[in-house]
Amino acid sequence: EAKKLGAKLKDASVTIRAKTSEAESLYGSVNAAQILAALKEQGFASLEESMLQLEAPIKALGTYDVPVKVHPDVTETVKVWVVAE
């Protein structure tokens, strides 16, 4: 089960739209809860926030690789795109 979920996550990517200033810095940040919500919209209902291994909230536009630990032996990376609203 965990390996199947990991295989699906391997190809997953999410786009998070965030408010930015004129200098393109984020107002606030993108956190694990926002990434989780975007993944759940794509059908990853069994994921929990604690599975996302986000070291710190994302505070800039760009592309980020976020590890998701679906099982102690299975970790996959999800690509997160943070774009201006």
Rounded CA gap, 31 and 37, in Å?
10
Res 3: pLDDT: 85
Rounded CA gap, 17 and 63, in Å?
12
Per-residue pLDDT of the chain (85 residues; tens, 9 = 90+): 788 888 888 889 999 999 998 877 898 999 999 999 999 999 999 999 999 999 999 999 999 999 999 989 999 999 999 999 8
Domain regions of the chain by residue span: 2-84
Res 24: pLDDT: 75
Rounded CA gap, 57 and 49, in Å?
13
What is 2-84's CATH topology?
Ribosomal Protein L9; domain 2 (3.10.430)
Half-sphere exposure of 26 (CA within 13 A, CB side): 15
